Amino acid sequence: MLKGIPQILSPELLKVLCEMGHSDRLVISDGNFPAESMGKDAIVIRCDGHGVPEILDAILKVFPLDTYVEKPVNLMEVMPGDDVETPIWDTYKEIIAKHDDRGAEAVGNIERFAFYDEAKTAYAIIATSEKALYANIMLQKGVVVE
């Protein structure tokens, strides 16, 4: 056990977050995301039983977002024709605002298939049991400035 580290962050996940360098990307995926096939060239970490918001909040306590790009956080856009509401995106923006002064301004959207292409180049993919649709989120790591 460590002090000040959210308990939801497993030793395996902490190691991966620490290994990541500036501009490396991390995907936190919902339960429908094809994490294993998208993550063939990445590290896939299972966080079954957890949702994306709790994982996102814990990660952002230790993970700086990139300040050299306009949108270090990206969401998967809803496909045209899908009648899906995405209230979880508001939750994400609230969490991000707790940890980054840019708040919702740090968040962009990527078309679904472009998101998949980007996910294939991510350093790691965290597979959750999140049930919300279009709940995938990609983070780009920044530098720690102390």
Active site residues: 22, 66, 116
User: How long a stretch of residues is the chain?
Assistant: 146
Task: Name the nearest CA neighbour of 92 among 121, 119, 54, 64.
Answer: 54
Burial 91-126 (b: 16+ CB within 10 A, else e): bbbebbeebbeeeeebbeebeeeebbebbeebbbbb
Q: Pseudo-torsion of CA 11, 134, 71, 139, nearest 10°?
A: 10
3 state DSSP class of 139:
strand
